[in-house]
């Protein structure tokens, strides 16, 4: 079963070549390291994204190109590459000819193919090391109060920017030490539609960002290393918190089924910290610097082990003077929809919980749904009649979260996708409604009609759509912020 956290879903960014030459493509040297370029060509109404790597041997060019949008673009050798002074001619593997001129770090010209001719544009990439990019990860507030976040893509090769007010997210291509460009969609950096510039203070630290001319000041946040024990398992991670003495409310991130790391959920960590809530995230057991054995399955023994890990994180937070021990909650998605209620039902130290795309139905029935949808990869997706025929009469095999859910007396918010093809939202909502009807619960359930498993906006919730989806469903961040404001109690006097 491939359930993932909402924060760390594998809707990955394109990978760019990392080789950078200290001289231009046309430099007169025997062998130049590869230069990475990004851009695309347009013929008629079709816009095609390109990732190109070029290396020069005197006036002879060699190179590869990845054509189109993919999680990790596959490169093929150029059929032909020629250089004469500033004139560049490239023939792609699909036969398209790019004929143009280089001016500094930009190549522009004419694109020719069997179906017509148009234009092309390439910008040279100048990627920084991942540790340097990581220094820019954080929250940035514009003059109107809206917040943008910078975080690393799932491959830790590029930065992404998200507008928490509108939910738009873009992959950024780095074209200088502090300069980045983005396109109209997440994985489509071209046509170039947006520019982001890091603004540094006199000490060289990133103090702000400028996006399309708008300045956003960096919100002061603190990152600290974290390590704690659950029995003989050592969990290693980090605490991302607001600056100041506190005490702050806090959440422990509970991973889904993926091999999650302390950095997997930075999109959400930055969001929580901007709301004044600290977030503890850690490498899942058996991943990164954490010991123990990684287990993907959702059998009860593994879920209980993961619940124990989360509660060990709660205990670690409770010992800190800058954290309010009365306001520590759990957050996570996907498989964590089972883990979080289990942990919260076993400890009075958990004060609240927030769950994204997490099931409230028995594991066996959820696995049957995943098999039917092929984890969201089936095209076309199954009809409602097929789903009902598959799940109708199916026994409640595997771990059943309902006893744990019934025991909860803390505020919990669920944010679920209406077209999720990796978690069956209708049955989970029905289970939660039935429990709430019994009284004594503070459950809030939001279902976003166009939401996929990642809570990104799609038409059918298919995995292929999620790969291209560039926007979270409207309201997902605003709803969570409003719920935190009303349910995470102010500190005790």
3-state secondary structure 124-188: ECCCCCHHHHHCCCEEEEECCCCEEEEEECCCCCCEEEEECCCCEEEECEECCCCEEEECCECCE
State yes or no: pLDDT of 31 exceeds 50. no
Task: Kindly indicate the confidence band of residue 15, based on its pLDDT and cuts at 50, 70 and 90.
Answer: very low
Q: Give the pLDDT of residue 133.
A: 95
State yes or no: pLDDT of 25 exceeds 60. no
State yes or no: pLDDT of 22 exceeds 60. no
Q: Which helix (H) or strand (E) holds 72?
A: none
Residue 425, classed as helix, strand or coil, is helix
Q: Give the pLDDT of residue 400.
A: 95
Spacing of C-alpha 263 from chain mean position: 10
- Bridge partners of 227, per DSSP, are 236
Phi and psi dihedrals of 360, rounded to 5?
A: -120, 25
> Is domain 221-487 in CATH 3.40.50.1820, yes or no?
yes
Which of residues 15 and 241 earns the better pLDDT score? 241
Q: Give the pLDDT of residue 374.
A: 96
Q: Where in the chain is the domain with CATH 2.40.128.50?
A: 130-218
Task: Kindly indicate the confidence band of residue 75, based on its pLDDT and cuts at 50, 70 and 90.
Answer: confident
Q: Give the pLDDT of residue 477.
A: 97
Among 76-85, 191-200, 436-445, 470-479, name the one with the lowest average pLDDT: 76-85
d(CA 472, CA 483): 18
Q: Give the mean pLDDT of the chain.
A: 90
Strands 97-103 and 106-113: antiparallel
d(CA 137, CA 130): 11
Among 30-44, 161-175, 432-446, 452-466, name the one with the lowest average pLDDT: 30-44
Q: Give the pLDDT of residue 85.
A: 83
State yes or no: pLDDT of 140 exceeds 90. yes
Task: Kindly indicate the confidence band of residue 61, based on its pLDDT and cuts at 50, 70 and 90.
Answer: confident
d(CA 318, CA 416): 30
- Bridge partners of 174, per DSSP, are 180
Which of residues 326 and 10 earns the better pLDDT score? 326
Which is nearest to 271 in space by CA: 4, 2, 3, 6? Answer: 6
Q: Where in the chain is the domain with CATH 3.40.50.1820?
A: 221-487
What is the sign, positive or negative, of the torsion defined by CA atoms of 371, 372, 373, 378?
positive
State yes or no: pLDDT of 73 exceeds 80. no
State yes or no: pLDDT of 24 exceeds 50. no
Greatest distance between any 2 Cα atoms in the chain: 78
State yes or no: pLDDT of 119 exceeds 90. yes
Residue 374, classed as helix, strand or coil, is coil
Q: Give the pLDDT of residue 58.
A: 66
The count of other CB atoms within 10 Å of the CB of residue 326 is 13
- Bridge partners of 147, per DSSP, are 141
Out of 3.30.910.20, 1.20.120.1810, 2.40.128.50, 2.60.120.1090, select the CATH number for domain 130-218.
2.40.128.50
Residue 432, classed as helix, strand or coil, is helix
Which of residues 10 and 150 earns the better pLDDT score? 150
Q: Give the pLDDT of residue 390.
A: 94
DSSP string computed for 181-219: EE-SBTTB--S--EEEEEEE-TTS-EEEEEETTEEEEEP
Residue 52 · residue 61 · CB < 8 Å: no
Phi and psi dihedrals of 487, rounded to 5?
A: -115, -25
Distance (Å) of CA 16 to CA 35, 51, 224, 340, 376: 10, 7, 30, 37, 27
The count of other CB atoms within 10 Å of the CB of residue 301 is 10
State yes or no: pLDDT of 491 exceeds 70. no
Stretch 5-33: mean pLDDT, rounded?
A: 31
What are 261-319's pLDDT values in tens digits? 999 999 999 999 999 999 999 999 999 999 999 999 999 999 999 999 999 999 999 99
Place of tokens 């009075």: 348
Q: Give the pLDDT of residue 17.
A: 25
Q: Give the pLDDT of residue 490.
A: 58
Count helices and strands in the chain by DSSP H and E runs: 10, 26
d(CA 304, CA 254): 12
Q: Give the pLDDT of residue 154.
A: 87
What are 244-260's pLDDT values in tens digits? 999 999 999 999 999 99
Q: Is the peptide bond before 191 cis (omega within 30 degrees of 0)?
A: yes
Q: Give the pLDDT of residue 74.
A: 78
Q: Give the pLDDT of residue 468.
A: 83
What fold, for 35-124?
A: Lipocalin (2.40.128)
What are 368-409's pLDDT values in tens digits? 999 999 999 999 999 999 999 999 989 889 999 999 999 999
Q: In what order do the strands lie in the sheet with 214-218?
A: 169-171, 159-163, 147-152, 138-142, 214-218, 206-211, 194-200, 179-182, 173-174
Residues 6+ apart with CB under 8 A from 439: none
Q: Give the pLDDT of residue 177.
A: 95
Q: Give the pLDDT of residue 59.
A: 63
Tokens for 136? 């820019």
Q: How many residues does the chain have?
A: 493
Q: Which helix (H) or strand (E) holds 382?
A: none
Strands 159-163 and 169-171: antiparallel
State yes or no: pLDDT of 327 exceeds 50. yes
* Burial state string for 340-368 with b = 16 or more CB within 10 A and e = fewer than 16: bbbbbbeeeebbbbbbbbbbbbbbebbbb
Q: Give the pLDDT of residue 33.
A: 61
């Amino acid at each position: 079963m491939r359930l993932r956290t909402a924060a760390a879903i594998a809707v990955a960014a394109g990978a760019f070549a990392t080789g950078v030459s200290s001289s231009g493509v046309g430099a007169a040297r025997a062998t130049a390291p590869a230069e990475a370029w990004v851009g695309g060509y347009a013929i008629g109404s079709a816009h095609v994204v390109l990732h190109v790597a070029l290396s020069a041997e005197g006036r002879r060019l060699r190179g590869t190109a990845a054509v189109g949008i993919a999680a990790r673009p596959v490169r093929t050798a150029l059929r032909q590459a020629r250089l004469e002074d500033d004139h560049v001619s490239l023939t792609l593997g699909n036969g398209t000819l790019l004929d143009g001129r280089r001016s500094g770090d930009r190549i522009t010209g004419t694109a020719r193919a069997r179906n017509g001719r148009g234009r092309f544009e390439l910008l040279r990439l100048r990627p920084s090391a991942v540790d340097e990019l990581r220094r820019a990860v954080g929250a940035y507030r514009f003059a109107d109060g809206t917040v943008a976040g910078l975080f690393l893509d799932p491959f830790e090769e590029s930065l992404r920017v998200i507008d928490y007010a509108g939910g738009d997210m873009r992959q950024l291509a780095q074209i200088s030490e502090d300069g980045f460009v983005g396109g109209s969609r997440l994985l489509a950096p071209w046509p170039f539609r947006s520019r982001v510039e890091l603004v540094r203070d006199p000490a060289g630290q990133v103090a702000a960002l400028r996006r399309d001319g708008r300045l956003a000041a960096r919100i002061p946040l603190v990152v600290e290393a974290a390590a704690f024990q659950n029995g003989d398992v050592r969990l290693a991670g980090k605490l991302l918190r607001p600056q100041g003495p506190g005490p702050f409310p806090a959440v422990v991130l509970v991973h889904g089924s993926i091999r999650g790391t302390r950095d997997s959920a930075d999109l959400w960590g930055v969001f929580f910290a901007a709301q004044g809530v600290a977030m503890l995230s850690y490498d899942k057991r058996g991943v990164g610097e954490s010991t123990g054995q990684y287990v993907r399955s959702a059998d009860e023994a593994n879920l209980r082990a993961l619940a124990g890990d989360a509660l060990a994180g709660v205990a670690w937070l409770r010992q800190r003077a800058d954290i309010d021990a009365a306001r520590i909650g759990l957050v996570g998605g996907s498989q964590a929809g089972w883990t979080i209620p289990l942990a919260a039902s076993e400890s009075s130290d958990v004060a609240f919980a927030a769950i994204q795309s997490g099931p409230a139905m028995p594991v066996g029935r959820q696995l049957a749904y995943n098999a039917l949808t092929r984890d969201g990869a089936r095209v076309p997706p199954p009809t409602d009649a097929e789903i009902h025929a598959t799940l109708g009469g199916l026994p409640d095999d595997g771990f059943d979260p309902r006893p744990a859910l019934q025991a909860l007396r803390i505020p919990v918010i669920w944010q679920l996708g209406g077209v999720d093809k990796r978690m069956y939202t209708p049955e989970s909502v029905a289970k939660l409604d039935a429990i709430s009807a019994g009284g004594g619960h503070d459950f809030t359930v939001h279902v976003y009609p166009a939401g996929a498993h990642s809570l990104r906006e799609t038409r059918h919730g298919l995995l292929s759509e999620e790969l291209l989806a560039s926007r979270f469903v409207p309201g997902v961040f605003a709803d969570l912020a409003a719920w935190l404001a009303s349910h995470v109690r102010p500190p005790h006097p």
